A and B are shown apart, each in its own frame.
Chain A
């Protein structure tokens, strides 16, 4: 068996809020194979973003092991490029400068940067927007730029934190297909956080359903359906029922916990 792209063992993450200790993650074990597309799914508060941030190196876990590409994660790095829900484009840079930023940091010659950026912009249908600032783009376009920005540095792994969560349904489907196309073409490992059940089943090789606080792996649901997947098919909906059932249990626990917290 090849070395996993991500290896997570016995990861625990606790932090204090208002004098109380909150355990966001507890006893997480998870391996992601190279080239695999894995979705972390769960209600808000299940720690899926916390887990992604641990892989990204933004917030180290309290205990446990996180290996990325075989090496322990000690901080953020361009081998694990992150796409944020809020796009996080640099508003003072044009589209072209945003996409070229990672290459520039790497010290690539200007000519190489320009060529690579041009090719990526073409690939993602952004060529007409190269001189625009992010404020002049729609949400969908901004997220395309953000994807182009991480693809520019050609990372072996993409970490995506609810990247399409703020987009309308049509744009979201569009970008999901775009992501699948790029993923199939480039063979990158993708760890994708979402709270969308359909999105998870539409995209993932495996859906990791997480529990509400403390976040644990509740169940891993493999999705064997061939792509492109038909969201109206019987198999798809059977799977959706199964996953919904799992997620709704955790959602119910979430709501119960909130009610209890308000009652205090």
Chain B
């Protein structure tokens, strides 16, 4: 307990000093609030951004809907839903393709030249084309995000399948498994540690891409909001938005960690 408190104090020490210094400098008028607002000002702005704009009216909406009616929850939900949809599309294509490419040399030989040419192109470089193809709004964002998630999942799935110990395949065939069962019950779970690494990287990329996509193509969401705030010189709102983006990323990471640990509870490396 004492140890825990000590560690907590230690980890908070530097951030606290930075915040206090920052606040002090701002209050002393050393930094223009348009450039760098005081932390207290950011917190106030963050709260305004978070809180519902209208007073609660039971005839109009449920309590929950009202609680989330503020600008920030709407933005965050929009961004996260774009990440989820885009990731499901990209990862959903990459996973079966990766399984096939890892297992069937002929599929790998056919597909890999094209994919190797496309892979080094950053998803962000597709922005102009995606707007040309899909216009503005969600469709280009889904396209860009799925593209960003696609390659990490694909590459790791291929590596995972290739690293499946041949002895598991032999054992399963020996017990009478056909190719379909082999895929579902042996190769997929055996490759799962790699696949989940790909999923994690893929979601990370998707999260970067969503912000960029919102800054260019969507006109909604967290990325759009901080760009919009710049036009009004609201540096406090920009920072509040950035912090929200960081918190969303942290939340995704924590969830992924949980999922990882549960899915890989059989794995040697997961012994706690």
Q: Is B170 an interface residue (CB 8 A)?
A: yes
Q: How far is the CA of A160 from the CA of B121 in the complex (A)?
A: 51
Q: Which B residues touch A56, using CB under 8 A?
A: 174
Give the Cβ gap from B54 to chain A, nearest Cβ, in Å.
51
Residue ranges of B at the interface with A (Cβ–Cβ < 8 Å): 167-168, 170-177, 181, 185-186, 189-190, 192, 265-268, 271
Q: How large is the interface on A (under 10, 10 to 19, 20 to 34, 35 or more residues)?
A: 20 to 34
Q: Which B residues touch A76, using CB under 8 A?
A: 170, 173-174
Residue ranges of A at the interface with B (Cβ–Cβ < 8 Å): 56, 58, 75-78, 80-82, 84, 86, 88-93, 101-102, 105-106, 133-135, 149-150, 153
Q: Which A residues touch B268, using CB under 8 A?
A: 91, 135
Main secondary structure of the interface of A (DSSP, over half): loop
CB-CB nearest in chain A for B269: A135
Q: A91-B266, A102-B175, A135-B271 are in contact. List 8 more A-B contacts (CB 8 A).
A: A56-B174, A75-B173, A80-B174, A91-B267, A92-B267, A105-B181, A135-B267, A135-B268
Q: How far is the CA of A150 from the CA of B174 in the complex (A)?
A: 9
Q: How far is the CA of A133 from the CA of B262 in the complex (A)?
A: 13
Q: Which A residues touch B192, using CB under 8 A?
A: 92
A-B contact pairs, 7 of them (CB 8 A): A84-B167, A90-B172, A91-B266, A92-B266, A105-B175, A105-B181, A106-B176
Q: Given contacts A105-B175, A135-B271, is CB(A92)–CB(B190) below 8 Å?
A: yes
Q: How far is the CA of A101 from the CA of B268 in the complex (A)?
A: 21
Give the Cβ gap from B59 to chain A, nearest Cβ, in Å.
52
Give the Cβ gap from A50 to chain B, nearest Cβ, in Å.
14
Instruction: Say whether B175 contacts A101, CB under 8 Å.
Output: yes
Instruction: Say whether B266 contacts A133, CB under 8 Å.
Output: yes
Q: How far is the CA of A161 from the CA of B90 in the complex (A)?
A: 43
Q: Given contacts A86-B167, A88-B170, A88-B171, is CB(A105)–CB(B177) below 8 Å?
A: yes
Q: Which A residues touch B266, using CB under 8 A?
A: 91-93, 133-135
CB-CB nearest in chain B for A85: B167
Q: Which B residues touch A105, using CB under 8 A?
A: 175-177, 181
Q: How far is the CA of A86 from the CA of B173 in the complex (A)?
A: 16
Give the Cβ gap from A152 to chain B, nearest Cβ, in Å.
9
Of A78, A91, A133, the contact of B174 (CB 8 Å cutoff): A78
Instruction: Say whether A58 contacts B177, CB under 8 Å.
Output: no
Q: How far is the CA of A240 from the CA of B171 in the complex (A)?
A: 33
CB-CB nearest in chain B for A159: B174
Q: How far is the CA of A135 from the CA of B272 in the complex (A)?
A: 12
Q: How far is the CA of A134 from the CA of B13 in the complex (A)?
A: 44
Q: Given contacts A135-B268, A135-B271, is CB(A88)–CB(B176) below 8 Å?
A: no
Of A88, A92, A101, A134, the contact of B167 (CB 8 Å cutoff): A88
